Structure 1
Amino acid sequence: MSGTTAVQAQPVEGARGQGLTLAAVLLAVFVVPMSISGTAVALPGIGADLAASDAALQWVVNAFNVAFACCTLVWGSVADLVGRVRVFATGAALFAVAATASALAGNAYVLDAARALAGIAGAAIFSAGAAILSTAYEGPARARAFALFGTVAGIGVSLGPTFAGQLVTSVGWRWVFALHAAALAVALLAVPVIARSVPDASVRMPGRRLDVSGALVFVAAMVLLTTGIVQGSQWGWGSAGVLALFAGAVVALTVFVRVERHSAHPVLDLGLLRERRFVGLALVPVAASFGFVTLLTYLPSYLTAVTGRDGSAAGWLMLLLTVPVLVSPLLAAKLVERGVAARVLILVSLGCLVVGDLGLLLFSPHAAIAAVALPMVATGAGMGLSAGLVDGQALALVAPERAGMAAGFVNTLRLGSEAIAVAVYGSVLTTLLAGGHTYNSAFHGLLWGLAGVCLVLGAVVAWLLRDRP
């Protein structure tokens, strides 16, 4: 069930090789979320420099997110076929090329295309990177590796805006992408060591081929779904265009399920979805998307618009939400190492999301920091305790040769749910404000909704992760 057999089947190049493998994967993983959260800060400078329209500017961010969501599952399946190290190296190389093209772009359309390529590459890095760690480590070492995986991803998301803002102010927006390219070039230098350190599960699956038809149908479904979500707030959720995109996504997903049922080598083994514990673990990031990611995106606007804080003060206050994300993954790994059940920590993390979101109802135009500090910390801990832990636990439930596919599925749900949660939050907020609600009352109403979603998902996850009778 776990990757223990795979690790023992082929000698590993010692602690140095494992350490360099971990460092290279974490460096690449650090860049991807930093690119997602930091690029938005550079948009004003990009627009002024390239004379870009608002629509073209919006797709600098959206092109990456859509491409990432569409390709994560496919890359996971490809990694199982041709080798996780090859896919990781391909992703890192493509990302470096895309970041270089972004830095040199002469117009917004070239930049949009480069960002789409970066999204495709980022999907390869995340899927193959998680599978590499699952294969290279076992036991407590695996738990620590995935804790660092979650911590580094959290640092990338949290520091992305600050890092990009400093670069834009000091040397210009192009350096944001140039440094991404440089970081991935450094990660590529470690690929030969990774290749000697990580057993290749693909050698045990001779004759298996990529399900091209399934991959194309799945990508089409995700393009339709994510584009509908992205355009929903612009065209209107009830517009003919958005409804047509969603209907097309439903049709494509239906076709995908039928194709996979009859495929000898499916992109997604539907048998994974019959493993209730795996499905339960995969749903945990969905709860975090609603309970945490939406607040990470929109709480700064509330702090400036309602409480009257300037951007700097809002940024410092947001540390109460983000710092626990950086600390909690390693804390969770330590607790698991000392005998605390991973299931318990995951349920505690979901409880923290519910309690934290409800606690943020204490926010008001004149709320003291002391009153909201604990709910913000609890919400961040709800995200951080499960970050990395979920990935490690989910991949431990599947055969080693399926680790890439499993990682791809988990990350597809993670990013897809983030896009849905942020888009739905923004749309409901706009609707409430247009209906005469104040920003403060609209924010409080949405907090009830976020807590409710997390509570329902928490109950479902608890049921799926229950001990067998």
Structure 2
Amino acid sequence: MSTTSRRTSVGLVVLAASIPAFMASLDNLVVTNALPVLAVDLDASLEQLQWFINGYSLAFASMILMAVALGDRFGRRRVFSGGVALFTVASILCALAPTAEALIAARVLQGIGGAALMPLSLAILSTNVSARMRPLAIGIWGGVAGLGVAVGPLVGGAVVEGLTWHAIFWLNVPVGVLALVLIRAFLAETRGDRVRLDLVGLGLGMAAVFGLVFGIVRGNDAGWTSPQVLAALVGGAVLLLAFLAWEGRTRDPLLPLGLFRDRSFSVANAVGLMFSIGIFGAVFILIQFLQVVQGRSPLEAGAMTMPWTMAPLVVAPLTGIVAPRVGIRALVTTGVALQSGGLAWIGLTLDPAVAYGELVPGFVACGVGMGLVFAPLATAVLAHMRDEDHAKASGTNATVREIGVALGIAVLTAVFTGVGGELTPTGYTDAARTAVLWGAAILAATTGIATLLPSRRAELATAPAAEAAPAPALAPA
């Protein structure tokens, strides 16, 4: 095979794996900019607005590990394709939803389909390219996936203003069809360890996540000491402990707890959880500030955040090139610190009359920071894993991050409503400022966690062993 054709093949593999990841990450926040419109068109409450996003995120998070297990057993490409097909059909149901309840239900189905996309796309990509090409391939994948999260509000705003909110979901249909064609043409089938499906673990994990997030979402409306909220929070915590106990003793766990013995994997997951809580909860608050308080249209609000949303497209692929030289810890720590500083800047300058130029430095810092985190964090998760464990490792990380998205929106919305915030021009800003500064504080704490990632010297020390293994895992250096 010539050098040119080899490069073309790698490029097509990356494209086939990245488009579904982009589609899944886009739908995390594509609805965000349409929330004020949805509130009017579907007569939706603030709690329902949260569930338009959390219904997707929770279903996504709850089903990821089962999708990974199905992929390992029946073929990752097969399950990956099935997830794309289900996601596409669910998008049609979202577009046709006549009520808030119907949209939430369709978003849940969409999240179930999306659960197969993120972790399996990364696992398939890592086993369809050579070990030498993996850092660059994962860097591009991280940039594309990060772009989906980042441009979600912009795409949502543009579509809502130019067409209707229904078109947000219709856009997924041609993309899904194209993705199915590319997957079939350019991705080879791969499998992991074929083990028995852990249905008990799935049930416990789903119930635990739902209970915890439901309790947080309902806390301010129903009262934090109300029976339903206490039952949800306590029950969720008990179920989480039961899930961990079951996973520790069952022969074929949905979540192999032994993976957490690897320091790089454990710290990367902790960073992923906290990063998602801080940044995505703040995005949920800020997009609505621009529309509710400053009267911006959905498209204007999306365009104004472009210094934030477009930076990962440039920065994330570059990290795949830079990471072997400077190490993962330096990139992730710097990225999270930039996001913390950016949110602090935005929170401290937030005012109904604030000029757009005063917000731009914070937007740029957040965008560059996101670009520095996405790909290196994915690299850290897979750094010392066997090829057979790539899907489980990336699935665990995707689960943790999706839980973080749901918790971030729930927690920062709870902060917002807890200090008297309302969806009105006069009742929004003070509470939004407090919520955004909470996000900055969460990310500041995450910076400290990121310093626990293996040092550059430790990465170099483990690289030879990884390269000599029969099934070489991605080494971060």
TM-score with structure 1 setting the length: 0.85
Gaps of 5+ in 2: 462-477
**Hey, what's the Cα distance between the residues in 2 that align with 1:444 and 1:100?**
36
> What amino acid does structure 1 have at the position aligned with 2:385?
V
2 CA distance for matches of 1:349 and 1:446?
21
Query: Match for 1:430 among 371, 393, 417?
Result: 417
Distance 2:256 2:264 in 1: 15
**More displaced stretch, 235-244 vs 364-373:** 364-373
Q: Which residue of 2 aligns with 1:124?
A: 116
CA distance in 1, matches of 2:429, 2:40: 33
Whether 1:77 and 2:69 are equivalent positions in the alignment is: yes
Checking the alignment, whether the CA contact within 8 Å between 1:76 and 1:128 is kept in structure 2 is yes
Distance 1:364 1:415 in 2: 27
Q: Secondary structure at the match of 1:463?
A: coil
Structure 2 CA distance for partners of 1:49 and 1:192, relative to 1, 3 Å: same
Instruction: Provide TM-score, normalisation by structure 2.
Output: 0.83
Gaps of 5+ in 1: 1-12
Counterpart residue number, 1:5: none
Superposition CA RMSD, Å: 3.1
1:282 aligns with 2:269: yes
Match of 1:262 among 245, 249, 255: 249
Distance 1:53 1:362, change over 3 A: closer
1:450 to 409, 419, 439: 439
Selected match of 1:176 from 168, 182, 187: 168
* Contact 2:47/2:217 (8 A) holds in 1: no
Correspondence for 1:134 among 112, 126, 129 = 126
Equivalent position amino acid for 1:20 in 2: L
Q: Which amino acid in the other structure matches residue 439 of structure 2?
A: L
Instruction: Write out aligned runs for 1:103-118 (5 A).
Output: 103-105=95-97, 108-118=100-110
User: Which residue identity is paired with 1:86?
Assistant: R
1:364–1:218 Cα change, 3 Å: closer
Query: Percent identical across equivalent pairs?
Result: 31
Contact 1:288 1:382 in 2 (8 A): no
* Contact 2:60/2:114, CA 8 A, preserved across alignment: yes
Q: 1:288 to 1:191 in 2, by over 3 A?
A: same
The 1:364–1:67 alpha-carbon spacing in structure 2 relative to 1, beyond 3 Å, is: closer
1:252 aligns with 2:244: no
Match of 1:232 in 2: 219
The DSSP-based 3-state class of the residue aligned with 2:452 is helix
Aligned to 1:300, the other structure's residue is in SS state: helix
Q: What pairs with 1:206-225 in structure 2 (closer than 5 Å)?
A: 208-225=195-212
- Relative to structure 1, the CA distance from residue 151 to residue 239 in structure 2 (aligned partners, 3 Å threshold; closer, same or farther) is farther
2:346 to 350, 353, 360: 360
What is the DSSP-based 3-state SS (H/G/I as helix, E as strand, rest coil) of the residue aligned with 2:133?
Answer: helix
SS of 1:268's partner is coil
Aligned residue for 1:433, secondary structure, equals coil
Residue 295 of structure 1 corresponds to 282
**Equivalent position amino acid for 2:239 in 1:** A
Separation in structure 1 between the aligned mates of residue 421 and residue 93 of structure 2, nearest angstrom? 40
Residue 416 (structure 1) aligns with: 403
- Return the alpha-carbon distance in structure 2 between the equivalents of residues 344 and 462 of structure 1: 8
Q: Secondary structure at the match of 2:255?
A: coil
Structure 2 matches for 1:254-403, cutoff 5 A? 254-303=241-290, 308=294, 310-311=296-297, 314-336=301-323, 339-360=325-346, 362-365=348-351, 367=354, 369-403=356-390
Report if the CA contact (8 A) 2:343-2:436 is conserved. Answer: yes
Q: Deviation string for 1:382-405 (max 9, x for gaps)?
A: 221111221123113211111111
Comparing 121-130 and 81-90, the one that deviates more = 81-90
Structure 2: which amino acid aligns with 1:243? L
Matches of 2:281 and 2:51 in 1, distance apart?
20
Return the alpha-carbon distance in structure 1 between the equivalents of residues 448 and 255 of structure 2. Answer: 26
How many angstroms does 1:54 deviate by? 7.5
* Aligned positions, number: 449
